């Protein structure tokens, strides 16, 4: 998995042969600054776009292959023992609007299969969109399979670049949606003003004060008025969007504090409106490392347990990569991988395209 945060590649070796899936080995391969900037440049139309897209897809696939090879070496596992690689690819455009209806994840799956000699399952989102869905989020089906309780109403909150929630109510159908920005605005603002890629533990945000008027301007964006199913990405929540909300005289640390509270409110409001009966909230994704963010979420939902997915057996950093291994297995077994109740598709579909070894 390589997500909206553009921090790097998460790779998980999973054993899905038993009733309780488990991760055997994990590896993180960071993006260098030059690759990150090239990927960011594809978020908007630009010069020689088709060529740059193709070359970056090939480059990413070589990086993915290197990460897989290193992971298997660390685990002392031969490629012949692996059924398939589930590869999400790097999203550079996500335009689920009805008048557009497309999504682009960069990966050359044929190159990845050739370099690893392992079957690859990729292009998970297109089939859902072809069926009228948003193509996202896809991880709720995995959350349903591995995290659902027969007794307690749980919500899984993935805080990557974008935040999404999955409602796992033992008495009702599972649903979920993108609820707003996760780390994407905080990371971008932090990089611009401190030179760091992210605000470690939320320490910089803790040094500032929330600006009430700015927070109100952020949380009243029309995205939050839309009913699920819905998804979003860097196309909406970016620094250009943020600049339009600023007066220009705000202290940078106060803006950071406000952005953190914005993420908290987006999540807490979504849970309050759509799954208020939940008693347990489990966090995953990079936002799980932001101690201030987790503390503020707990404050915003005082009558609910707020914890990390580590308690459920999968550490926060590896849930999404684990999910795409599971989605690959669904494809291989010809089982559906989306939840129409989440994406808005006309029905559940078998996702992905298989590139044999």
Q: What integer is the mean pLDDT of 251-256?
A: 98
Average pLDDT over the chain, rounded to whole? 96
Least confident stretch, 32-46, 139-153, 273-287: 32-46
CA 289 vs. chain centroid, Å, equals 15
pLDDT digits (tens, 9 = 90+) for 265-294: 999 999 999 999 999 999 999 999 999 999
Average pLDDT over residues 199-207: 98
Q: How far apart are CA 200 and CA 337, in angstroms?
A: 34
The pLDDT value given to residue 245: 97
* The pLDDT of residue 250 is above 90: yes
Whole-angstrom Cα distance, residue 319 to residue 184?
18
Say what the pLDDT of residue 97 is.
85
Axis crossing angle, helix 184-194 with helix 252-274, rounded to the nearest 10: 170
The pLDDT confidence band at residue 56, using thresholds 50, 70 and 90, is very high
pLDDT of residue 215: 98
pLDDT at residue 100 tops 90: no
Tens digits of residue pLDDT in 214-229? 999 999 999 999 999 9
pLDDT at 54 over 90: yes
Mean pLDDT across the stretch 88-98? 91
pLDDT band at 98 (very low <50, low <70, confident <90, very high): confident
- Alpha-carbon gap, residue 220 to 215, rounded angstroms: 9
Looking at residue 4, what is its pLDDT? 87
Percent of the chain clearing pLDDT 70 (strictly above): 100
Q: What is the mean pLDDT of residues 208-219?
A: 98
Domains defined along the chain, listed by start:
8-135+320-355 (3.30.420.40), 139-316 (3.30.420.40)
pLDDT at 5: 87
What is the SS3 string spanning the chain? CECCCCCEEEEEEEECCCCCCEEEEEEEEECCHHHHHHHHHCCCCCCCHHHHHHHHHHHHHHHHHHHHHHHHHHHCCCHHHCCCEECCCEEEEEECCCCCCEEEEECCHHHHHHHHCCCEEECCCHHHHHCCCCCCCCHHHHHHHHHCCCCCCEEEEEECCEEEEEEECCCCCCEEEEEEECCHHHHHHHHHHHCCCCCHHHHHHHCCCCCHHHHHHHHCCHHHHCCCCCCCCCCCCCHHHHHCCCCCCCCHHHHHHHHHHHHHHHHHHHHHHHCCCCCEEEEECHHHHCHHHHHHHHHHCCCCEEEEHHHHCCCHHHHHHHHHHHHHHHHHCCCCCCCHHHHCCCCCCCCCEEECC
Question: What pairs with residue 22 in β-bridges?
Answer: 15
């Amino acid at each position: 998995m390589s997500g909206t945060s553009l921090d790097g590649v998460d790779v998980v070796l999973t054993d899905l042969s038993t009733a309780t899936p488990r991760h055997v080995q994990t590896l993180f391969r960071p993006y260098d600054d030059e690759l990150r900037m090239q990927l960011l440049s594809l978020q908007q139309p630009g010069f020689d776009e088709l060529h740059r897209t193709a070359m970056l897809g090939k480059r990413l696939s070589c990086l993915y292959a290197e990460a897989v090879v290193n992971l298997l070496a660390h685990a002392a596992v031969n490629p012949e023992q692996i059924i398939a690689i589930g590869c999400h690819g790097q999203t550079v455009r996500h335009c689920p609007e009805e008048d557009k209806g497309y999504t682009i994840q960069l990966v050359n799956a044929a190159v990845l299969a050739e370099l690893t000699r392992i079957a690859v399952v990729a292009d998970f989102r297109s089939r859902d969109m072809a069926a009228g869905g948003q193509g996202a989020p896809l991880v709720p089906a995995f959350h349903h399979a591995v995290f659902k309780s027969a007794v307690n109403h749980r919500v899984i909150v993935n805080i990557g670049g974008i935040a999404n929630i999955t409602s796992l109510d033992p008495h009702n159908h599972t649903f979920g949606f993108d609820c707003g920005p996760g780390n994407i605005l905080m990371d971008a603002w932090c990089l611009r003003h401190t030179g760091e890629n992210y605000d470690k533990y939320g320490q910089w945000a803790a040094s500032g004060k929330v600006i009430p008027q700015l927070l109100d301007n952020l949380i009243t964006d029309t995205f939050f008025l839309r009913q699920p199913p819905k998804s979003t990405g860097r196309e909406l929540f970016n620094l250009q969007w943020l600049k339009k909300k600023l007066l220009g005289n705000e202290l940078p640390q106060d803006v950071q504090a406000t952005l953190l509270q914005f993420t908290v409110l987006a999540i807490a409001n979504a849970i309050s409106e759509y799954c208020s009966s939940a008693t347990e909230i489990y966090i995953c994704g990079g936002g799980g490392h932001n101690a201030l963010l987790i503390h503020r979420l707990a404050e915003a939902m005082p009558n609910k347990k707020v914890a990390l997915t580590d308690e459920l057996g999968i550490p926060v950093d590896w849930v999404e990569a684990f999910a795409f291994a599971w989605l690959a297995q669904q494809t291989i077994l010809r089982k559906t991988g989306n939840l129409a109740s989440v994406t808005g598709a006309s029905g559940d579909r078998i996702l992905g395209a298989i590139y044999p070894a």
